[in-house]
Structures are given as structure tokens and as C-alpha cells.
Amino acid sequence: MLISAISVLMVSMLSVSQAVQAPAPRLVSIAWLVEHLNDADLVLLHVGSARDYPTHIPSARLITLADVSVSDSSAAGLNLQMLPADQLRARLESLGVSDTSRIVVYPAINAIQSSTRVMLTLDYAGLGARASLLDGGLTGWVAAGRPTSDVTPPATQGSLKPLQIQPLVVDGTFVREHLTRPGFKIVDARAKTLYDGVATGGSAERPHKTGRIEGAVNVPFSEITNGASQFKTVDELRALFTAAGVKPGDTVVAYCHIGQQATATIFGARLLGFPVLLYDGSFEEWSRLPNAPVTNPSVRIK
């Protein structure tokens, strides 16, 4: 009897342990957040700006991309790059994130790419198993008749162990070496006009090259959601990636202008189970690299 009781206890403890360690779903619903809004370990992050933060989900803390990235606006610099691990850890702790936190991220406006950039940063930091994105964002929350707040929650200092950085970010050398390698697909997440070379990205002072990385396929970030911060169905997403030529088992290596829009396409790819990598330097860097192959379909040989 004693042995039986111990066995039952061990099985029970194992089940509890597995439940605790089970990764959080990548998407959670408005109904889920309503049920868990007052959980003690919840860290709710409003991805936006000081301008839109006065209308936020109760208990949400404001996070901007500048909080969890570094940008260099010099002629040789790159925008929106990952922070060094120690700095990223300190920034996340200042937002109240701890090793035991259950993190939920939501977009303040219908611009999903900022929230997916935060999600990818959490994945990169080794915290992805505890993080989810609110499907529908603040727009969906308000549409569901849920209350908002203008009260900033008290500052809470989190506590994180040294981050276990995940190998999710690659550079131009990696992309160049994998342009035609089987099992890898370079995916351009920019608008089709940029992919086709009809328009040119960058700024007037520092324009990018016109066209795309040679051999890249196009899954525009704007096609991943329905335009109201709500993700398309798995079947709809699968159709997008299949039409672009991404095959089951391919590793999606996504890029955009500076590594923001690409994270939305990456998020969609992960919902389908694809392995993913972000080319963080994106076309901003690729345009400057010597002999980096660019295709411009808008130029026709006469």
C-alpha cells in the first residue's frame, strides 16, 4: 500500500511539473485574458507609445521598441537591433518580468509588427515559453466591451536569471550562405511593391537598393492578420506560405526593412510549426553589403 501511495504521489507531482513547464500558447484570446487578468504572476505589456497609453487594458505596462532594442542612426549604423543580453535582462526586469512571470503582449493600435517584435525578443531572451500575444489586441478588447484604464500601475522590479539567448537572429553572412541551400527559404516580409522593385525602401537620405534579396520569396507581413490585430486562421496562413513556395520542414529566414515587419511573418510561420530565423539587419544592411545579390524585377532588359 505504501509503495502504491508513493507511486500515485510521484505521478501526481510529475503531472503538476509538466503542467507548470508546458509552454504558453503563442496566441491567447480576449476571454482567456479576462479570466487571468488578476493572476499574481501576470505581466501585461501594452506595445505602443506614451500617446496611446492613456487608454490601456487595466494593469498593463507600457513598452516601446526602444525599451528592448538599440538603434544607431549614423551612416554605418543599423536600426532596431537586439540589445546585449545583460542590458536586455535589466530592461525586462524594469518592466516587472521575472523567471516565474506569465507574459502577455498586445498591440495598442492595429500595427501587429511592433508586438511581434517584442514577442520575438522574448523568444530570443529565452522567455518565449512563458509569453503569449493577445489575439485582437486592444482593438479586440474594446470591441468586446471590456474596460480600459488610464492608471499607470505601480512600478515593479522583476528578477531574472542570466538570459539563455536563443539562436534566432542571423546576419548577412548567414543569409548569403543559405540563399540556395535546401531546407531554407529566404522570405521577404515587405509589401509586394517593394519586393517587386516598384517602390524603394529606406529614407530619402539613406535609400535602400531597389528590389529584393536574390531568390527570396514574398509573404507580406500585412497578409498575416485581418487588419484588426487578429491573426488569420491556420489554413489561411498555410495557403499564404504554400503559395510563396515555402515547403513543410523549411526554415523560414525572414527579413524586411529593419527587422520589425519580418517578425509578424515569423510569428505566422511559427503558428504553422516552421523553424524560423530573423535577419535582423534586413534590407537596411543587405543594401550596403558589397556584392550582396539583389534582384529588381521592375528592370526589364531591352
Chunked into runs of 10 residues, the chain (302 residues) has average pLDDT values of: 42 41 90 97 97 97 97 91 98 98 96 96 98 97 97 96 98 97 98 96 91 97 92 98 97 98 98 98 96 88 40
Judgement on whether residues 287 and 189 belong to the same structural domain of the protein: yes
Which pLDDT score is estimated for 20?
A: 47
Which pLDDT score is estimated for 54?
A: 97
Please measure the distance between the N-terminal and C-terminal CA atoms of the chain and give it in whole angstroms: 88
* pLDDT single digits (tens) 11-67: 444 344 334 458 889 999 999 999 999 999 999 999 999 999 999 999 999 999 999
**Residue 4 domain-assigned (yes or no):** no
Answer yes or no: are the C-beta atoms of 223 and 192 closer than 8 Å. no
Residue 283 belongs to domain spanning: 169-295
Q: How many domains does the chain have?
A: 2
**Residue 150 domain-assigned (yes or no):** no
Instruction: Locate 37 and state its grid cell.
Output: 487578468
Residues forming beta bridges with residue 161, ordered by sequence position: none
Judgement on whether residues 114 and 179 belong to the same structural domain of the protein: no
Judgement on whether residues 94 and 136 belong to the same structural domain of the protein: yes
Q: What is the CATH number of the domain that holds 217?
A: 3.40.250.10
Instruction: Locate 29 and state its grid cell.
Output: 484570446
Judgement on whether residues 213 and 175 belong to the same structural domain of the protein: yes
Domain boundary among 143, 158, 187: 143
Judgement on whether residues 185 and 125 belong to the same structural domain of the protein: no
Instruction: Locate 69 and state its grid cell.
Output: 532594442
Which pLDDT score is estimated for 300?
A: 60
Answer yes or no: are the C-beta atoms of 113 and 221 closer than 8 Å. yes
Which pLDDT score is estimated for 11?
A: 41
Judgement on whether residues 290 and 173 belong to the same structural domain of the protein: yes
**Residue 6 domain-assigned (yes or no):** no
Which pLDDT score is estimated for 18?
A: 39
**Residue 159 domain-assigned (yes or no):** no
Answer yes or no: are the C-beta atoms of 140 and 134 closer than 8 Å. yes
Residues 173, 179, 184, 188, CA torsion sign? positive
